[in-house]
Every structure is written in C-alpha cells, then in structure tokens.
C-alpha cells in the first residue's frame, strides 16, 4: 500500500453510513484535588474543580465514526428522564436528528460518573438498569431499526454490547438476518450475556478475557498458535468470517479461519484504557467497509486503540493523527 492509496481509503470513510446498535450512556467526569483524608473514614476528600458530561457506551462508537469522517446512525433505548434529556442534548453534537433513539418509562438512562484527581481515577459510580427490554419496547425497537435499514443506504452494522439489556437475542437474530440479506457487513463488540448469540457475522471483536471466558478456554494470552486453533473452532461453529481479539499489552490478533495475523502493541504511555475498545471496533468497521484486508484492519485498529489510551478520559480518535501514524507503520512517507 502506498501513501496515495492509504489517503484515498481514509478519504473514502466520508462515504459510509454506519448503523450502530447498543447500550448508550452518559460518561460524567468530576475533576478535583485531593489534599487530605476524610476524618470520617480512610478515604480521600475530593475538592471539585470541574464537571463534564460526554457521550458513552455505543454513543462513543458513534463519536469515533463521526470523528473519522463517516455518518453514524445511533440506535438505542434510553430512559424518559433528566439524564436521557442530557444524553439527547449531547447527541446533537454528532448528528442533528435523533431518529435512532427510543425513549422508555421503564428504564433509567445509564450514567457512569468518574472522579479523577491528578489524572488518576479514584472511583466510579454507576447508575443503571440492566434488565432486558420489555416485550413491547423490544418489538418497537426492532421494527424501528428495520425501518432505518430499509430507508437508508447502510454500509455497515455495529452491535456495541455493554450488557445493559438493550440488545436482546431476538434483536440480534432479526437484524443479523436482515443485514445479511442486504449484504451489509455486521461487526460485533460482545459481552458475556449474548456472547454465543452473534452467529453469521462478518467481524467479531472480543478482548482476550471475553474470548476465553465466553468459550470456556484455558489458554495463555501469549500462546498465539493455541489461540489460532481455538479461533478456527469458534469461527466454524459460529459462522464468523473474521475474529479480531484485542490482547492489551500484546497487541491484537485477527483470524479469517484459514490464516491469522498477530500485530504487536506500539509502546505508549498509557493513561486510561476506557473507550479503547470502542475506538478499535469503529476503526475496524470503516477499514472493513473500505475493503482493507484482515492484516491492515488489525494494524490500523491496534494503532487507534493505543492512541486513545494516552489520554486520561474517553475521547474519539483523531483522524489526522491516525493517518499520520498509519503511514509510519506501513513505512510510507
């Protein structure tokens, strides 16, 4: 791949509409100073300096897709509550319309609040409901997604599963069947509850812990050959075209069932791993839609995940930085 080809691929991202289905949330941050320990208990006292709310969960995938130049269509269910209104206000930053979002009186909008001092996370407080969608809302949500798939030219579908209950087995089966019928690539960032429900998808992206636990395996992270043997079995059983496994400090692994590639991690100063998986699946989605091969998808996705880990809060990937660093790993000036 030469410089012009790589630049053309990155430029082509702007042509893609990506439908993102999953659990969304508000990522709230409280920044403060710690100067003393509480006299009431052996815990630090945080003097609040600043507060901020950002889009989180599947919405962070939408942010990354937007940051890379493509058009995200975010589909989720939120609560009909104050935090839900806050989420919708934040969403207007990346898309003017909110046609993929369904509001429900039977759920709370998920909020994760992180307390940070001197770039160190002190504690995280979660407010959420994790039960699956009630039957009526589930049917409404599935029909809503189907209508979006019929109305719009969709170049990829992403399931971003945070195990909060928005994604159900019925939803997976119906949307996967319709997407495959339309020859739309399907990419999955899974969690445990529905791990084995994602059959016949294009790319499946667990981290190493999710892969070994979801498949009940006893294997060391550094055993790449052993990982490939298990990957082939899993892909064959599930009908998965590409299996992309993130290995944290060891980089990423990708298999197309016949061959595999192991891309080592780039050495970086890690500040925060939150949101890195969202970035990886976002970059993988657009690289796949642009026609890149498995090794190229893994290499650029691995690079993107490392870049966002250098920042102590969840942020989307910077397209220009990713392009510049991608040129270096492909040795193009």
Is 127 exposed, middle or buried (CB count within 10 Å of its CB: 0-12, 13-18, 19+)? middle
The three-point CA angle 18-19-25 to 5° equals 115
User: How far is residue 212's CA from residue 227's CA, in Å, rounded to a whole number?
Assistant: 9
Among candidate residues 278, 293, 318, 320, the one labeled active-site is 278
Query: What's the token pair of residue 111?
Result: 């909020």
- DSSP per position, 42-79: SSEEEEEEEEEEEEEEHHHHHHHHHHTT-EEEEEEEEE
Q: Please count the CA atoms within 13 angstroms of the CA of 211 that sit on its side-chain side.
A: 27
What are the Cα distances from residue 76, in Å, to 21, 24, 73? 6, 7, 10
Contact residues for 173 (Cβ-Cβ < 8 A; gap 6+): 197
Buried b (16+ CB within 10 A) or exposed e, 289-306: bbebebebbbbbbbbbbb
Confirm whether 278 is a catalytic residue: yes
DSSP E strand stretches across the chain: 17-22, 24-37, 44-57, 71-79, 101-104, 110-117, 120-127, 156-160, 186-189, 203-204, 242-246, 252-255, 260-263
Task: Tell me how long the chain is.
Answer: 333
- Chain center to CA of 114: 19
Over 103-156, what HEC string results? EECCCCCEEEEEEEECCEEEEEEEECCCCCCCHHHHHHHHHHHHHHHHHCCCCE
Q: Which residues are catalytic?
A: 278
């Amino acid at each position: 791949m030469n410089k012009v080809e790589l630049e053309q691929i990155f430029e082509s991202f702007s042509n893609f509409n990506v439908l993102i289905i999953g659990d969304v949330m508000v990522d709230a941050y409280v920044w403060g100073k710690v100067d003393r320990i509480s006299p009431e208990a052996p815990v630090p006292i945080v003097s609040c300096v600043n507060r901020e709310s950002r889009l989180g969960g599947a919405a962070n995938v939408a942010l990354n897709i937007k940051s890379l130049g493509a058009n995200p269509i975010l589909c989720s269910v939120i609560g009909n509550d104050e935090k839900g209104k806050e989420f919708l206000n934040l969403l207007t930053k990346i898309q003017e319309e909110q046609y993929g979002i369904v509001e429900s009186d039977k759920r709370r909008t998920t909020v994760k609040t992180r307390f940070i001092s001197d770039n160190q996370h002190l504690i995280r407080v979660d407010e959420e409901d994790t039960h699956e969608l009630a039957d009526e809302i589930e049917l409404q949500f599935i029909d809503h997604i189907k209508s979006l798939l019929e109305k719009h030219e969709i170049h990829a579908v992403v399931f971003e599963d945070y195990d909060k209950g928005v994604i159900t087995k019925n939803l997976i089966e119906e949307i996967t069947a319709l997407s495959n019928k339309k020859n739309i690539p399907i990419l999955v960032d899974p969690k445990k509850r529905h791990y084995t429900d994602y059959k016949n998808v294009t790319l499946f992206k667990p981290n190493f812990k999710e892969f070994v636990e979801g498949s009940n395996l006893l294997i060391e992270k550094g055993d790449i050959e052993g990982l490939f043997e298990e990957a082939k079995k899993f892909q064959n059983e599930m009908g998965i075209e590409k299996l992309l496994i993130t290995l944290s400090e060891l980089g990423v692994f990708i298999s197309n069932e016949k061959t595999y590639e192991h891309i080592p991690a780039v050495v970086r100063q890690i500040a925060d791993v939150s949101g890195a998986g969202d970035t990886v699946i976002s970059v993988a989605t657009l690289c796949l839609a642009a026609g890149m091969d498995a090794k190229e998808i893994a290499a650029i996705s691995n690079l993107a995940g490392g870049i966002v880990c250098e920042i102590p809060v969840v942020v989307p990937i910077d397209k220009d930085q990713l392009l510049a660093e991608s040129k270096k790993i492909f040795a193009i000036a």
